[in-house]
Amino acid sequence: MEDKNYEIAKKRVKEIKDFYTHLIIFAVVITAITIINLVQGEYRFPWFLFPFGFWGFIVLMHGLRTFVFGKGSRWEDRKIKEVMKQMKEDK
């Protein structure tokens, strides 16, 4: 049982670490392309907004999957307890 819990915790920590790695890479790359776009001149089209919007949406979904709807989320834990309670009451 303890080994199973360890493996679950290890997987969860990896998911969180992967999200933060993704977030840091996003921030660095978006900052770099924003600077490149702004240095090009004052009448240039703000093309950096396209990767910012698209990739930003992907990072948002990754965060939601990791912290809100992922395994081990508080919502999932509450729902499991609620269903288990209902099952006990139905017996």
pLDDT digits (tens, 9 = 90+) for 9-60: 788 889 889 999 999 999 999 999 999 998 987 777 899 999 999 999 999 9
pLDDT at 91 over 70: no
22 φ, ψ to 5°?
Answer: -60, -45
Return the pLDDT at 89. 79
This prediction has a pTM of 0.73
Domain spans in the chain, listed from the N-terminal domain onward:
1-90
pLDDT at 64 over 70: yes
Give CA–CA dist 17/68, Å, rounded: 15
